Structure 1
Amino acid sequence: MVKLNCVVWFMCMFPLISNAQVKIEKESKVLSREVPFKSVSWVEEVFDQKKKLKWYFETSAESHSYEAKFHQKKKKYSVEFSKDGTLEDIEVIVHWRKLPVEVKQNISKYFSEQFLKTKIRKIQIQYTGSDENLKNWIVSKKSDAVEIKYEVEFYGKTSSEKKLWEGLFDKEGELLMKREIVLAPSNNLFF
């Protein structure tokens, strides 16, 4: 039944996907035994003090992936793997005040030039690189060989509309990509 709902939902949303850059994702909780072994073993090996580990299968218009979400040392991590278990990226949730000054200035400039009003919903620092370089970054926190980007979810209001957006910014805070976020309908009934 859930798979049928997903198929119908994607069929209804396809016209939106084909006309604009739109982010439509659906996450389903999965057991670790359903995840590729190399993904599970990589997380187990690299993150030794993790808490509340949960695995998800993420479906979007472009791809399917597995994601490990957990806490370690008072930070929220999300580690994404391709369907075959290849590491894609590591994201860490961070607060606006923790960003470098230059990054905040550039993102703020973009917001003020494009929108009348904005409200940040979530910020994640995205780390990409080889498996080995990401392992070294986790241990030493030295990021020379790791690429850093900032993924910002925000509400943006223009003179004609208010939408939820995801912006991907480079390490200086310059916009690389922006796409609208379309939230999946809930299977729950609200009264």
Structure 2
Amino acid sequence: PQVAVEWVDVTFPLAKVKWYFEETSGLKSFEAKLKWGDLKHSVEFDTSGILEDVEIDIDWKDIPKDTWETLSQTLHEEDDNFKIRKIQKQLSGNPDLVVQYIQGNKSVDIIHRYEIEYFSTSEDKFNLWEGLFSNDGEIISKRKVQLLTTDNLDF
């Protein structure tokens, strides 16, 4: 949608953007992937072009210590042998304020969360999970990630 393209152009001027259409758990969305500064960003919009969230790839060391301890404890309670695949800081809220935050105004009132993809053993299987955690490290939701089979031949 044009409104999504314009939002990305204003927020990330001159960034090289790749666009994708996604369907996850029956929900359809558009996703813009780009690199801003040294960080990978993923910007998700609904089908009408309304901003859903901005996800920024980060390292666990970028999470405040207290938040990481709470989050890590939750993962350890589930499975001591969990393995983190990816951590993203998730920004959402008023799209105009999200732009301001990304452009340097860290005092604006937006929602900060963490999305973590991790491997964990459940039902005697090693599965990929996606957990959404609050800014304080409390779990909000989790879902099992369904890996798609491909038609590629591996040899």
Tell me which interval the TM-score lies in, with the shorter structure as reference length. over 0.9
1:118-140: CA deviation from partner (whole Å, max 9, x where unpaired): 11000000000111111111122
Higher relative contact order (CA 8 A, sep 6+): 1
Which structure dedicates a bigger proportion of its chain to helix?
1
Secondary structure of the residue that 1:91 maps to in structure 2? strand
Q: Give the Cα–Cα distance (whole angstroms) in 2 for the partners of residues 184 and 159 of structure 1.
A: 20
Contact 2:15 2:34 in 1 (8 A): yes
Q: Give the Cα–Cα distance (whole angstroms) in 1 for the partners of residues 138 and 6 of structure 2.
A: 35
> Residue 128 of structure 1 is aligned with which of 84, 88, 92?
92
| Amino acid of the structure 2 residue aligned with 1:147 | I
Q: Give the Cα–Cα distance (whole angstroms) in 1 for the partners of residues 109 and 63 of structure 2.
A: 20
1:24-53: CA deviation from partner (whole Å, max 9, x where unpaired): xxxxxxxxxxxx1111111011112423x1
Corresponding position of 2:43: 79
Corresponding position of 2:80: 116
Q: What stretches of structure 2 of length at least 5 have no aligned partner?
A: none
Q: After TM superposition, what 4+ stretches of structure 1 lie above 3 angstroms from structure 2?
A: none
Q: What stretches of structure 1 of length at least 5 have no aligned partner?
A: 1-35
Larger Rg: 1
Q: TM-score w.r.t. structure 2 length?
A: 0.94
Aligned residues: 155
Asked if 1:38 corresponds to 2:3, the answer is yes
What's the CA shift for 1:58?
0.3
State the percentage of identical aligned residues. Answer: 37
